[in-house]
Chains A and B, each alone.
Chain A
């Protein structure tokens, strides 16, 4: 140890002038106010200068400690003594780091003394020293110093050796850059947040994490340089290169294999949080996150009859934080996934007729990139797609992507639901947009926009009972299967004409969300509420006929309080009613017969129907489908605050067959590759 310190001391002695020089130079920022520079800038200038001086010192030492000393024999002097190479390496590195850190610190002293941290405004802390010496700051500073010294050493060795090995270094640099762009950048976008926030606990370690492999590589490279290259510059260069690129190569290999592993995850390894289904119940599209893949949005198209699945094609551009769900054509032959591509909107069109679905990317002509406020709908035979933005609605032909019809939308509207009424006719219902100033003038009205394939369009604004609660924006309108009637949530639940918005009947009075469902035969089921209902009363179901006439009033054998979810209709006239009571209590899922109000079946607790979420209105379920999908909580324990459904169960109510099709425990079949 004393030998190591002797070597370090000699290095410091050679460059001793840096210490007083740094201290004197540190007074420079203090005289800046005399030249008209604002006093407030001085601490910033001082600290920046300190960092720069530290970096400069690191460069000076790094470039001379091994490369220059090998050239002028000084390294040979040390190697001719009984010093292990580790002592030589350690002493020089110790001196380099000490010199860089000390120079920066000495430069900063006059500034720190003249401008105590507590006297500066803002939340910087009480003392310069304490701020500097906190964990992440010191570690990052250390890594940056090591990096600078290492880079200076690498550069100086390259320069002095004049070895043809340089060509290899350049080639490897290009290869590493490509590999980083290909494998590390996507990890950074999706998986890294997991590491940054969950594993390391703080976002400020990000920079350190990125620089660490580089610093480590340079450090290891210099170790090999001293151990194997010793005093010969050619061999030293070779050793340094090999050591450095070995570390970088390993890092990239680890990252690349992690990335490949992430991408090869199957639907049985993800926590599902989005599910959309086709009409027949054969295909589902799920999105979810894997346990170890951060926020990477896995997306799978699964054939639930066979278990075979297709992973969603790699997104071309940055995925929006809110992704888009797959649309299925009513005839079950096509699926379409909206994506943002090349600055516009596009669809990944899946041909589901074949054993291995063919995927085509269809760019939608002149369409702006979709946002979370855009609504999509797919025509029953997938001949066209209906896209509704805030500024306009358009029909695009498939699979060409050519625009065939457009209708403009006046400002102030946001689409809530978009639906095809028939192959060539689409309709969208819009609510007042709730952004900014518009929210202050909340209007009690809605708008209907019709668009036909021949270009005919119409738009009608109609009044509603009260301004829609902006929080319910996308639940405010519920159309029936044909789109001819709608239910609106405007201070109660009202039945209206789908085309004109004319009120037909007022079903329920009250504010807030009111669950409702259109049955296949046209009846309407809602959660019944009376003004004078005591809070301890059992939940009630009200059934109405097509015209809004109340047919029945059932009491459900469920303990309050709770919020109901009504649907799906699993058999003619039989509906699943779910009751959520918040995270401390259990959930119930009952199958209730709407004629008698009897509970005919009870599903496992925790099953929730997978309704479509915002962004996509899938085709309404046709009658006759007995297959329904439910999402299941993992049951991590009642204490867990985020009871996010993560598993999808397929139940065929005709046969009673149940199986897990996505999420942990799913039986997956062959992974298909897209053609």
Chain B
């Protein structure tokens, strides 16, 4: 499966500036996530990623700049878009008193199409018990449930916010394998924010690096590595380690 060229990008930002209180989360962010790609937004672990995610999901309007999710404004078209988008937030947000089975049933009532069997199968692969309350699961299991729930309606776009934060290697691998499997089966577009460079290096085909809220590097990962002859970690260190703010935007297309 190859990325569809010429189709509307799965996610598009144009001059997006987000402020939360006095902090500027992102400033003048412009990027485009091609359909079917795995796009990694890299940056130091800091405040504001959840603000960005809220804007992408249409829970907060973009005051300055534009966001297009699957070609539409998420603030205005949130209900329609959420049927085609899956979300795995950094902090699992499901109601703690519900079990995984109840959550799947609940989500099934909220979506028009829901594959409860696939969700159960994913949870089995993750070895998550279906009848224990969500709040009593470990962090890794909660993340697994969130991921399984986010894929139950076969979304076209999957948004992940630091999916491997706080997970051990085994759990991390399980998450990525699940994502890859879905990617392979359905050509889902994946957009993830992360700071775990080593893990994402094999999967991502596009990266964008944020430094102090500004985009300092963006492009096809393969081309970037070929051009510089460096690994992703090395590229990141060279770019994000720059203190001067005049590390301008470098866009390299494949």
Contacts and interface: CB of A to CB of B under 8 A. Distances in A.
A84 interface: yes
B172 to A, nearest CB: 22
Contact of A77 (B58, B93, B97, B112): B93
B120 interface: no
A8 to B, nearest CB: 11
A10 B54 contact: no
B109 interface: yes
A84 B97 CA distance: 24
A2 B108 CA distance: 11
A490 B87 CA distance: 97
A17 to B, nearest CB: 10
A13 B98 contact: yes
A10 B59 contact: no
A110 to B, nearest CB: 28
Contact of B93 (A13, A76, A83, A232): A76
A189 interface: no
Contact of A3 (B80, B97, B110): B110
A80 B82 CA distance: 6
Contacts of B78: 79
Interface residues of A, number: 22
Contacts of A654: none
Nearest to B86: A80
Given A73-B93, A74-B93, A231 B107 contact: no
Contacts of A232: 54, 59-60
B177 interface: no
A82 B80 contact: yes
Contacts of A74: 93-95
Interface string A70-98: 00111011011111110000000000000
Contacts of B80: 82
Which range contains the number of B residues in contact with the other chain? 20 to 34
Nearest to B111: A82
B242 interface: no
Contacts, number: 65
B91 interface: yes
B91 A82 contact: no
B87 A80 contact: yes
B110 A73 contact: no
Contacts of A76: 54, 59, 89, 93
A2 B109 contact: yes
Given A74-B95, A230-B60, A235-B60, A82 B110 contact: yes
B211 to A, nearest CB: 25
A81 B87 CA distance: 9
B57 interface: yes
A10 B58 CA distance: 23
A14 B54 CA distance: 25
Contact of B57 (A2, A79, A235): A79
B89 to A, nearest CB: 7
A252 B50 CA distance: 41
A231 B50 CA distance: 11
B110 A83 contact: yes
Nearest to B91: A73
Contacts of A85: 79
Nearest to A11: B95
B110 A80 contact: no
Contacts of A231: 54, 59-60
Nearest to A7: B110
A456 interface: no
Interface string B88-106: 0101111101100000001
A230 B75 CA distance: 10
Interface string A1-24: 011001000100110000000000
Interface string B59-77: 1100000000000000000
Contacts of A14: 95, 97
Please name the 8 residue pairs, one residue from A and one from B, whose CB atoms are nearest each other, closest first.
A73-B93, A82-B83, A6-B109, A82-B82, A77-B93, A80-B87, A231-B59, A230-B59
Given A14-B97, A76-B59, 16 more contacts: A3-B109, A3-B110, A13-B98, A14-B95, A72-B93, A73-B91, A76-B93, A77-B93, A79-B59, A80-B82, A82-B82, A83-B82, A84-B79, A85-B79, A231-B54, A231-B59
8 contacts: A10-B98, A10-B106, A73-B89, A73-B92, A77-B95, A81-B110, A82-B80, A235-B60
